Amino acid sequence: MKTNTSPAQLRPIHFIPDPKQTYIWSCLGLGMILILAGVTYNSTRLITEKTVESHQQRIVAGAAETVDLWLSQHVRIVEKDMFGRIWAENVTGGAQFTIQLPLSDLKGKHHA
């Protein structure tokens, strides 16, 4: 079966878009891109703020732990020093002078 088609009928049909439709689709595409960029920016900013806040909390917790350790060691030193002074005053019978002995000297030498 042979069809009668002329070369004019075989030419491709060129589509010429309507300028108004092109403008509308361009605006919609640009709007979607702007919305996507805004959501991405805000979510990235939020994640960054939470990460920085978490990091700062870990730093503060570590610093508080260090200060607590430092303070407890200094309180222990002061308590040991005060114990040495009180013990020396009791041994001398309440004399007017204070013998300051290191705690290592008090161990094993407190019998008179």
Q: How many domains does the chain have?
A: 1
What is the Cα Rg of the chain in Å?
44
Q: Is residue 61 part of a domain?
A: yes
* CA–CA distances in Å: residue 62 to residues 52, 69, 70: 15, 11, 12
Q: What is the dihedral of CA 38, 39, 45, 49, to 10 degrees?
A: 150
What is the model's pTM? 0.46
How many whole angstroms separate alpha carbon 53 and alpha carbon 60?
10
Q: Is residue 43 part of a domain?
A: yes
* pLDDT 10s digits, 70-110: 998 888 887 777 666 665 555 555 555 555 555 555 555 54
Is the pLDDT reported for residue 54 higher than 70? yes
Q: Is residue 2 part of a domain?
A: no
pLDDT at residue 93, rounded to an integer: 56
Q: What is the mean pLDDT of the chain?
A: 78
How many whole angstroms separate alpha carbon 19 and alpha carbon 25?
10
Give residue 72's domain range.
19-106
Q: Is residue 8 part of a domain?
A: no
